Amino acid sequence: MNLVLTLSFADAGSVVHPLERPASHHSMNILEIAFVSYPITDVARARQFYEEVLQLKPAQVMVKDNQNAFIEYWLGKNNEHCLVIGAGAPMFKPGKLGATVALEVDDFDAACKRIADHGVKTLIPQYHGPACSMVLIEDPDGNQLMLHKRKKSE
């Protein structure tokens, strides 16, 4: 995966060049944003807000109890976007930190090897569920990102 980041500041006329990256034999190709998720603390209260106030229709509901759940709401003309609310994972807490972006990757195993090669901090280890695989990681500033791979529907 080759990333080139160039930032220019009009008033200073300076350019920040890409940092050298450690060598890695594993590549990663991010396909799209898989979903954006918000952590919740009370499943019933959150569902009332998202389903009654925002009038979103749940697409997939996995609820263990009022503190452990994962609910997907598909949005867009062709259901091409997904908003998720969830509760129960120890490092998945609500607050002013912002949402977690899930990046859809083409090869989940290669992506996980790449983040391991680069010493990226993992907040929630690899999860392999019936619909997808995912891992929650942290960027150098402490922001949470998720790498995600949907499983093919049969």
101 assigned to some structural domain = yes
Q: Give the long-range contacts of residues 58-64, CB within 8 A, separation 24 or more.
A: 60/131, 64/88
DSSP-derived secondary structure letter, 49? I
Domains identified in the chain, total number: 1
Q: What is the residue-averaged pLDDT of the chain? A: 80
Q: Are 80 and 103 in contact (CB under 8 A)?
A: no
41 assigned to some structural domain = yes
Instruction: Show the DSSP H helices in the chain as ranges.
Output: 43-47, 108-117
Domain limits at 96? Answer: 25-150
Read off the pTM.
Answer: 0.57
pLDDT at 101: 84
Span 66-98, pLDDT tens digits: 888 899 998 888 888 898 888 888 777 777 667
